[in-house]
Amino acid sequence: MRQYICLLLMLILVTNPAMWAQETSAPSDDAAKMRQEIELLKKQLAAMEERLAAQEKASHPPSATPAHSTPAQENTVAASDLQVQMKDLDQRVSQTERKTTLDRLQWSGDYRFQTHTYVGHIPTHFDGMKMQNLIVRSMFLVTPQSQGGLGMTLDPSMLGSLTTDQFVGMLNGAVQQNYAQYQYFTNNLSFNQLKQGMGAFPAEMQPGLMNLLAPATLVNGYDANNKIMYTNRLRLNFDSQVADNLSVTARLSMYKVFGDSTGVQVFDGQPASMSIDGTTTRVPNSDILRVERAYFTWNKIGGSPLYLSIGRRPSTEGPPMNYRLDEPRGGTPSGGLIDYQFDGITVGYHVGEKMALRACYGLGYESGYGNGDVLKLPADRLKDVHFFGGNFDLYSTDKTFAQVTIARAWDVTDGFNGQVVLPGNPLTGESVLAPVIMRYTPSANLGAINLYGLNLTRKLKQLDVYGSFNWSSTRPNGTTTPFGGLLSDPFETPENHEGHMVLLGARFSFPQNDGRTKLGFEFNQGSKFWFNFAQAEDDIIAPKSSTRGEVYETYLTHRINQRFILKADLIRYNYTYSGSGWHVQAPKLLSETPMLGFPTYDSATMFTVGLTTRF
């Protein structure tokens, strides 16, 4: 993949030599003229200093003070005047250049305060992590002593004679009495060994074992509410027109919850609870000002409509997700498919004023840096995760917009590099006794993910209507990890799956003369196997566009003045399946008491009020 990207860039650079001759913006005429005057004055001053030195060398000390100025004195005065003029001109040039530089660099930004109240419900479910722990403890009993286990034999008839409490008590007692041996066993246990270890139980015993253990893992449904939470966000934008056809754009962002600047969350099963490269500024993090986007854009290459842009991409708040924010389009790709920070390259072509075609490349995971790659044998190293796609603005005017987005991710891993506090060991199910911040590194490449989307928007006087129609498909390579495979559980064989998501919205602006108040409504529905890269979507509970179920949202924005905006928002999640926002583990129907690796909502409601000031 990388070879093709490099080849494409080389072709752009060499196919049209005229592009190198393209004019760039020069300093202002006034500054150039002043520089010329300074150079001329420097030459005159140097000549005068030479003449003065020659005259002083040829003259003799006078016997009396002359009544009039000598030529040497006149030259000294002239030289002094020239120095004063040069200093004055130098200051004027510095001020002019400083102003020119500041004119090229445009700063803007916004500060937002929000208060949130949300109520949620966790359905009755079986605790998958606890189940895995009990299975590991059962394996410890039957694994031969030569492999670190106790080498016991379980009689199926014995299982039938024990209650759940009795059998779990037996497992826990065996671990307590042989704890050092159990630690040795679990410390040397791999996921492949865990999968193979299930074969140590006879096939006729496995269903009975699972049924015996299941009651010990049952968790009754409970509420998960937060009466009040405050967040603040600061964003600084700057743009610099480096040349007529070359610009640099960047955004720095700080986003935090009141009273928390740790930057790392305890993992609770929600997509937003892991700090990864794609979400560092879009999910409340800390008081650190981070780079959300930074890229250059080289327009009109060789006088053509072709352009090239490289850097940390503008890939968040894409259409139509910007409507509820009362902001212009913030990102290039469809917000229903991709709301995720990434580093990459875009090659675009403007077909007239109403159409733009773009080919986009991104790198989601770099395996060769920072992941201990040199400590692994070549056969054990992971492949990089590459993204490639197209964003096509087919028709774009003030009233109508039509966009198609297609994307493919190759060699997707079981997560991305990040920091997290894990409450439990995902392999053994044992609790992590101390809240240790750890660097999470993926363990396997799982396969490919394809995304397709169509966005349509239309402005009808005071009414904006918009829709987003999206499709996803997963193509697993058969690999699973303790977190699962592509839309499959750890002990399953992954299969191809298709998913879809539809989002519909309408927004009414009033009064008619200025439209400073906007009232909107949105609805979106995602299917069982729906997945998108929207982990950076700015929703406190979870990305709404990732929901496998239904979401209803009503919002009101009011511009107190042009740069001071009040927003009130009510959003309701109705989850049908588990795993929303995750590409690993199989979705489970939440109404049927599923086995869940981590708790998840079956419903949640959040009310938000905020004030944003732009500067």
Segment 269-285, tens digit of pLDDT: 988 899 999 999 999 99
Question: Cα–Cα distance between 111 and 231 in angstroms, integer?
Answer: 11
User: Is the model's pLDDT at 531 over the cut of 50?
Assistant: yes
Residue 17 lies in a domain: no
Residue 43 lies in a domain: no
**Residue 329 and residue 198 share a domain:** no
**Residue 269 and residue 253 share a domain:** yes
Q: What's the number of domains the chain is made of? A: 2
CA of 596: how far to CAs of 125, 216, 273, in Å? 7, 14, 17
User: Is the model's pLDDT at 9 over the cut of 60?
Assistant: no
**Looking at residues 292-296, what average pLDDT do you find?**
98
User: Is the model's pLDDT at 392 over the cut of 90?
Assistant: yes
Taking only the tens place, the pLDDT of each residue in 193-213 is: 888 877 667 777 888 888 999
Q: Of 580, 586, 585, which Cα lies nearest the Cα of 602?
A: 580
CATH of residue 229's domain is 2.40.160.10
**Which residue, 219, 253, 271, sits at the end of a domain?**
219
**Residue 243 and residue 211 share a domain:** no
Question: Cα–Cα distance between 548 and 500 in angstroms, integer?
Answer: 9
Q: With beta carbons less than 8 A apart as the criterion, state whether 419 and 440 touch.
A: yes
Please tell me the predicted confidence (pLDDT) of residue 29: 58
User: Is the model's pLDDT at 241 over the cut of 50?
Assistant: yes
Structure letter (DSSP) for residue 431: B
Please tell me the predicted confidence (pLDDT) of residue 84: 65
The pTM score is 0.85
Residue 205 lies in a domain: yes
Q: With beta carbons less than 8 A apart as the criterion, state whether 603 and 136 touch.
A: no
> Which of 341-350, 364-373, 450-459, 464-473 is predicted least confidently?
364-373
CA 71 to chain centre: 74
Supply 47's token pair: 């000549």
Please tell me the predicted confidence (pLDDT) of residue 24: 42
**Which residue, 197, 219, 241, sits at the end of a domain?**
219
Residue 59 lies in a domain: no
Q: With beta carbons less than 8 A apart as the criterion, state whether 241 and 105 touch.
A: no
**Looking at residues 509-533, what average pLDDT do you find?**
96
Secondary structure E strands in 267-426:
275-276, 286-298, 306-312, 343-350, 356-365, 385-396, 400-413, 418-421
* Residue 27 backbone phi and psi in degrees, to 5: -60, 165
Residue 23 lies in a domain: no
Please tell me the predicted confidence (pLDDT) of residue 218: 98
> Which of 41-55, 115-129, 166-180, 329-343 is predicted least confidently?
41-55
User: Is the model's pLDDT at 131 over the cut of 80?
Assistant: yes
- pLDDT band at 73; cut points 50, 70, 90: low
- Please identify which residue in the block is written with the tokens 């603040």: 232
Please tell me the predicted confidence (pLDDT) of residue 214: 95
**Residue 203 and residue 295 share a domain:** no
In this structure, the dihedral spanned by the alpha carbons of residues 256, 258, 260 and 263, taken in order and rounded to 10 degrees, is 0
**Residue 139 and residue 261 share a domain:** no
**Which residue, 219, 236, 262, sits at the end of a domain?**
219
Supply 530's token pair: 């729906």
User: Is the model's pLDDT at 156 over the cut of 70?
Assistant: yes
Question: Which residue range is the domain that position 526 belongs to?
Answer: 112-124+222-614
Question: Cα–Cα distance between 533 and 530 in angstroms, integer?
Answer: 11
**Residue 478 and residue 464 share a domain:** yes
Taking only the tens place, the pLDDT of each residue in 398-445 is: 999 999 999 999 999 999 999 999 999 999 999 988 778 899 999 999
Please tell me the predicted confidence (pLDDT) of residue 253: 98
**Residue 274 and residue 202 share a domain:** no
Between the two ends of the chain, the Cα-to-Cα distance in Å is 41
Residue 1 lies in a domain: no
**Residue 535 and residue 415 share a domain:** yes
Residue 41 lies in a domain: no
- pLDDT band at 246; cut points 50, 70, 90: very high
Please tell me the predicted confidence (pLDDT) of residue 434: 76
Taking only the tens place, the pLDDT of each residue in 24-70 is: 444 445 556 666 766 776 777 677 667 767 766 665 554 444 445 55
Query: Which residues does 25 contact at the CB level (< 8 Å), separation at least 6?
Result: 104, 241, 242, 243, 244
**Looking at residues 524-544, what average pLDDT do you find?**
97
**Looking at residues 217-246, what average pLDDT do you find?**
97
Please tell me the predicted confidence (pLDDT) of residue 539: 95
Say how many CA atoms lie within 13 Å of 376 toward its Cβ: 14
Residue 97 lies in a domain: no
**Residue 163 and residue 291 share a domain:** no
Please tell me the predicted confidence (pLDDT) of residue 74: 55
Please tell me the predicted confidence (pLDDT) of residue 201: 75
Structure letter (DSSP) for residue 598: S
**Residue 346 and residue 212 share a domain:** no
Taking only the tens place, the pLDDT of each residue in 140-149 is: 998 999 989 9
- pLDDT band at 18; cut points 50, 70, 90: very low
**Looking at residues 505-519, what average pLDDT do you find?**
95
Please provide the average confidence, as pLDDT, over all residues in the chain: 89
**Residue 361 and residue 488 share a domain:** yes
**Residue 180 and residue 227 share a domain:** no
